[in-house]
Chain A
């Protein structure tokens, strides 16, 4: 069959994830120290796992309501109020999704019309552009710069807005740069958006992993709640990636549209995972504090180690990545990472996996033990000595 002619053109035009592509190189290579993964190395805390096991033992194996159990939505509302001073009605403004990714998908599909432009700051997580395209929109990539601490600046945003702009993606704390947006930074963005028809998709999946400064949601700024969909979830905060638990927070008019998409495509998030998430919100604060403290020590260690060997490195304030500038070695990001892999025995992800503007950078994950990072740093130091 001539699949190319037959299959969806939109699907065919989507490029596979750049992280994936690089990782295929690794294949079965032996003796490689990887600093590539984008998920916690902690196992989900035991009390959270137990609550899911108990739900299975009690036979809670049914579908829940489409938007998730009311109990869980109520707990999400309480958490959001407590942490970010935001009020969402558990009844019709919160949807429990299959991870943050589904939340991004239903938000885009509920907001974007054909030929609408979706502004996606880059470098950023790989899914926004493809999902915007699948929703029929046109992604417009907007580069954030090292000299601006990889923040989205009002000037850059203003220049990117056209009459077709429908949605701004705000991916902060940022994967891969570790950049955050302070209340002041966000106010500059909000000022431009107030009074327009432009909506915001604020991906706050790393909101609990900031170091030194508390996360601020753009929805908490004057006039912004009405135009914002917050995407959040349990994966990074509670080391629950495999449970696939995320959620959206949005005004009921937007939630109503998103819920229909979620209803038909997903039905509901996995029930056992919902029970685990409930326990995480009720009794997980100490786990989060412990993991945050550990990430913070690794962050300092990794940044200090890289700088110590003369690699320029932006000071990340969130997530669990550092994003060193490797341009002075005179290799492209891909060349550098491939050479480091083949000759140095360390795997890191080229910045270009997160957008063309990632050229000259690489992402190093510190979701690894200090011992593991130390071994990798030793190898990296030897490797750059050969360049």
Chain B
């Protein structure tokens, strides 16, 4: 039931009771469905979205493009696994187009990120080249616009 998944994707805190009312279902059924999704790996986790720019945390985010030549006997999955096993790697996509893998990592400083790329990624034997791009500002993530908190300015006339 994609409607349930979309609602949870948008707000993981919706309780089974609330979801049941919204979707005209029994609370027990909703609980069962969620458990099943979790078991099957359809729902893989729950996170809180944080605007770290509003905290005193010092950090940088980088997107690293990686070009690779996969070996005949081991495809993209093998090299992908070698990369995503680093805890520094937050996100990893296999891409179509001008490069193969997109890696997102967070570090304390640009220097730390650069070292990680140079020492851990560039040295992998299937990797042909890397290009590191630092994120300057996050405007929107997962459908949420970062920055000002919206205020309800609607008139009450009607």
Contact = CB atoms under 8 A, between A and B. Distances in A.
B139 to A, nearest CB: 14
A126 B158 CA distance: 8
B156 A19 contact: yes
B11 interface: yes
A136 interface: no
Given A19-B158, A301-B18, A371 B11 contact: yes
A300 interface: yes
B157 A300 contact: no
Given A297-B23, A300-B23, A374 B18 contact: yes
Nearest to A371: B11
A231 to B, nearest CB: 14
Contacts of B158: 19, 37-39, 125-126, 175
A298 B156 contact: no
Contacts of B18: 301, 370, 374
Contacts of B57: none
Interface residues of A, number: 25
B11 A37 contact: no
B21 A305 contact: yes
A298 B22 contact: yes
A17 B157 CA distance: 8
A115 to B, nearest CB: 29
Contacts of B156: 19-20, 23, 26, 34, 36-38
Contacts of A125: 158
B22 A300 contact: yes
B39 interface: no
B114 interface: no
B76 to A, nearest CB: 35
Interface string A11-44: 0000001011001001000000010111101000
A23 B158 CA distance: 10
A370 B157 contact: no
Nearest to A125: B158
A34 B151 CA distance: 13
Contacts of B56: none
Contact of A300 (B7, B21, B152, B154): B21
A297 B154 contact: no
A223 interface: no
Contacts of A297: 7, 22-23
A297 B157 CA distance: 25
Nearest to A126: B158
A290 to B, nearest CB: 10
A304 interface: yes
B155 interface: yes
A305 B21 CA distance: 8
A301 B22 contact: yes
Nearest to A127: B158
A122 to B, nearest CB: 16
A370 B154 contact: no
A241 B152 CA distance: 14
A134 to B, nearest CB: 18
A175 B158 CA distance: 9
Contacts of A17: 157
A305 B3 CA distance: 20
A370 B22 contact: yes
Contacts of A298: 22
Interface string A88-100: 0000000000000
A260 to B, nearest CB: 27
Given A371-B11, A374-B18, A37 B23 contact: no
A44 B48 CA distance: 27
A136 B155 CA distance: 30
A65 B15 CA distance: 53
Nearest to B21: A304
Contact of B152 (A23, A41, A301): A41
A374 B11 CA distance: 13
A316 B49 CA distance: 35
Interface of B: 3, 7, 11, 14, 18, 21-24, 152, 154-158
Given A20-B157, A23-B156, A298-B22, 13 more contacts: A17-B157, A20-B156, A37-B155, A37-B158, A41-B152, A125-B158, A175-B158, A241-B154, A297-B22, A300-B22, A301-B21, A301-B22, A370-B14
